[in-house]
Amino acid sequence: MRLIVQKFGGTSVKDKERIFNVANIITNTYKNGNNVIAVVSAQGDTTDDLIEKANDINPHASKREMDMLLNTGEQISASLLAMAIESLGYPVISLNGHQAGFYTDSNYSKARIKKIDTERMERELDKKRIIIVTGFQGVNRYDDVTTLGRGGSDTSAVAIAAAMKADLCQIYTDVDGVYTADPRLVPSAKKLDEISFDEMLELASCGAQVLHNRSVEMAKKYNVNLEVCSSLEHKPGTKVKEVTKMEKLLIKGVAKDDDVVRIAVVGLPDKPGIAYKIFSLLASKKINVDIILQSIGRDGTKDISFTVPRDSAEMAKEVLESARDILRPNKIEIADNVTKVSIVGAGMQSNPGVAAKMFEALYEANINIKMISTSEIKISVLIDRDQGVKAMNALSEAFINN
Ligand code: ASP
Ligand code: MG
């Protein structure tokens, strides 16, 4: 018998009507002779609302207590969905992260799955039950509940699919698949039939919100058969897989990430060891650095600038300020009005001229580039924040719509 893992996001279970809609998708799959394990997110904006509630009481609440709180959101949707399925007359059981055997490390609020003990889920499937599992959570070795980080339910679903060797893992959302760009920002964006794990991974880490990037990493590692589809419309979604068929599209996606800040350390001594000092200081604070640019030395000084996620900017500035005596910069500047726009596509590996075409499109849209970075299948540029959407549309026009 086939095992299908289905994950439903917050909007797909936001109210009674949507819960029954999901209950129907699950029971139809079950009726067709499949085992089903469904993973659910918290309803609608529940997680945000819980965070707001916590901040109101104690903005410095410990991460352990935050996880205790956020765990409740998924528990509500899992039990309600199980009740809906019960009412339709099907055998079903809901399990929280602990009951489903999700063992994680103790990095509260961003825990990593260490192993999944599948025994309980196997037993329930043997009893012919549909299983509903709370997304985004687990338990650590102290028996405390943890969460996997925002958007982590996708990862829960893929992890179950990998551990249970499922035939298919379907991620149901309120869009009907993966688009070449966010269709709310780029109206001409197209839905993709397929995308490779690597491309999806780059897109997810460049700001595309469809899939949690750890879920894609895991799907690639365990070769999970992954599909993104709509919980509201019956049509084929997007398949995420190892290799995709040759497509005309050189570029599979255009993404924008507003969660970046540029820090410029200006007027550093132009001598060996300076970059090492800066980036080891940042690493010691576990600050994730993305694009890095160093100017050519002139008159014995040079500038180094780099980007970090917004919530690390203050700490990055502090740690560099605290090393002023060693680094001796003229100034340290933070620029917050920037955004990173990226194009992603495996096709660029074998096609020269992609960068030139990208810069031409930006030039024609009169957009100034502040920083550039490239990888095998991605080119990112840092530009003014207020030009982000214009850039996405210009790049879609250049690469996708013709
Ligand atoms: N409910 C969690 C969140 O909003 C996890 C998820 O939806 O994947 O981040
Ligand atoms: Mg999500």
Q: What is the pTM of this model?
A: 0.88
- Tens digits of residue pLDDT in 228-247: 999 998 889 999 998 877 66
- The pLDDT, as a whole number, for residue 246 is 67
**What would the pLDDT profile of 211-227 be if each residue is shown by its tens digit?**
998 999 999 999 999 99
Q: 205 pLDDT exceeds 90?
A: no
Phi and psi at 171, nearest 5°, equal -100, 105
* pLDDT at residue 354 tops 90: yes
Q: Is the Cβ atom of 136 under 6 angstroms away from ligand 1?
A: yes
**Any atom of ligand 1 within 6 Å of the Cβ of 41:** yes
SS3 content of the chain, % helix, strand, coil (to 5): 40, 25, 35
Higher pLDDT, 326 or 68: 68
Query: Can you give the pLDDT at residue 352?
Result: 87
Statement: residue 249 has pLDDT above 80 = no
pLDDT digits (tens, 9 = 90+) for 112-124: 999 999 999 999 9
pLDDT at 247: 66
Span 386-402, pLDDT tens digits: 999 999 999 999 998 86
pLDDT over threshold 90, residue 350: no
HEC states along 292-344?
A: EEECCCECCEEEEEEEECHHHHHHHHHHHHCCHHHHCCCEEEEECCEEEEEEE
What is the chain's mean pLDDT, rounded?
Answer: 95
CA of 220 to the centre of ligand 1 (A): 21
**288: confidence class by pLDDT, cuts 50, 70, 90:** very high
- The mean pLDDT value for 22-41 works out to 98
Whether 10 is in the pocket of ligand 1, judged by its Cβ within 6 Å, is yes
What is the model's pLDDT at position 74? 98
Lowest mean pLDDT among 86-95, 173-182, 332-341: 173-182
Give the ligand with the smallest distance to the CA of 152. 1
CB of 73 within 6 A of ligand 1: the answer is yes
pLDDT of residue 49 exceeding 80, the answer is yes
Beta carbon of 44 within 6 Å of any ligand 1 atom = no
Strand order in the sheet with 145-147: 113-116, 102-104, 137-139, 145-147
Q: What percent of the chain shows pLDDT beyond 70? A: 99
Best residue among 13, 40, 41 to mutate for probing ligand 1's pocket (most ligand atoms within 8 Å of CB) is 41
- Is residue 110 over pLDDT 90? yes
* Domains of the chain: residue spans and CATH: 3-174 (3.40.1160.10)
What is the pLDDT averaged over residues 348-376?
94
Q: Nearest-5° angle of CA 38, CA 140, CA 197?
A: 50
pLDDT number for residue 208: 83
- For residues 72 and 180, what is the distance between their CA atoms, to the nearest angstrom? 35
CA 199: distance to chain centroid? 13
Output the CA angle 202-395-171, nearest 5 degrees.
40
What is the predicted pLDDT for the residue at 351? 85
Closest residue CA from atom 6 of ligand 1:
151
Q: What is the pLDDT of residue 349?
A: 85
**Average pLDDT of 79-87?**
98
**Average pLDDT of the residues in 81-107:** 98
Average pLDDT over every residue of 7-22: 97
